[in-house]
């Protein structure tokens, strides 16, 4: 869990998020305590060191005929980028979605993140043009 939270901290710093590794730890524990909340998949090298992770949540939406998956985070450690780790993580999420009967998977991409766009496109995703609105309390 410590290694996972360290990677999450790198991602949060990269995207200039308000969250901290401790916030990520709370989220990961929340997700891991119920198979109906979401899924966290990790990639390890041969020695067991984490190379990257992906985290997805599940939602029920009539618009898409039932359960959907939202890819919340995908992060690959810098030294492992360009080696298929991100595609492998996306593949694991897609396999899980198929097992659950999910017919729609979405991913929000921060502007300028061409690497994740290429990974998603090579995995069969198409860009959807929607406007994301937020409200902070």
pLDDT in tens, 64-122: 999 999 999 999 999 999 999 999 999 999 999 999 999 999 998 888 888 889 999 99
CA separation for the pair 5, 109 (Å, rounded) = 21
pTM summary value: 0.85
Residue 22, domain member (yes or no): no
Sign of the dihedral through C-alpha 87, 88, 89, 90: positive
Residue 82 domain-assigned? yes
Residue 1 lies in a domain: no
> For residue 133, is it within any domain?
no
In a domain, 91, yes or no: yes
pLDDT score of 38: 92
Residue-wise pLDDT for 14-67, tens only, equals 888 888 888 888 888 888 888 889 999 999 999 999 999 999 999 999 989 999
- Cα 15 to Cα 11, 18, 34, 41, 60, distances in angstroms: 6, 9, 27, 20, 27
Distance separating alpha carbons of residues 96 and 91, to the nearest angstrom:
9
* Parent domain of 110: 35-122
Q: Is residue 115 part of a domain?
A: yes
Q: Is residue 14 part of a domain?
A: no
CATH number of the domain at 85, please: 3.40.630.30
Nearest-angstrom CA–CA distance, 63 and 43? 32
Total structural domains within the chain: 1
């Amino acid at each position: 869990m410590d290694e996972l939270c360290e990677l999450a901290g790198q991602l949060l710093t990269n995207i200039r998020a308000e969250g901290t590794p401790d916030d990520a730890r709370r989220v990961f524990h929340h997700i891991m305590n119920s198979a109906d909340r979401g899924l966290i998949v990790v990639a390890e090298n041969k020695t067991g060191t984490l190379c990257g992770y992906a985290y997805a949540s599940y939602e029920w939406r009539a618009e898409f005929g039932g359960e959907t998956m939202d890819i919340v985070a995908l992060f690959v450690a810098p030294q492992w980028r360009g080696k298929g780790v991100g595609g492998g993580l996306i593949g694991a999420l897609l396999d899980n979605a198929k097992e659950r009967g999910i017919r729609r998977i979405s991913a929000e991409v921060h502007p300028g993140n061409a690497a994740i766009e290429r990974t998603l496109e090579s995995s069969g995703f198409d860009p959807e043009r929607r406007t994301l609105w937020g409200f902070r309390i």
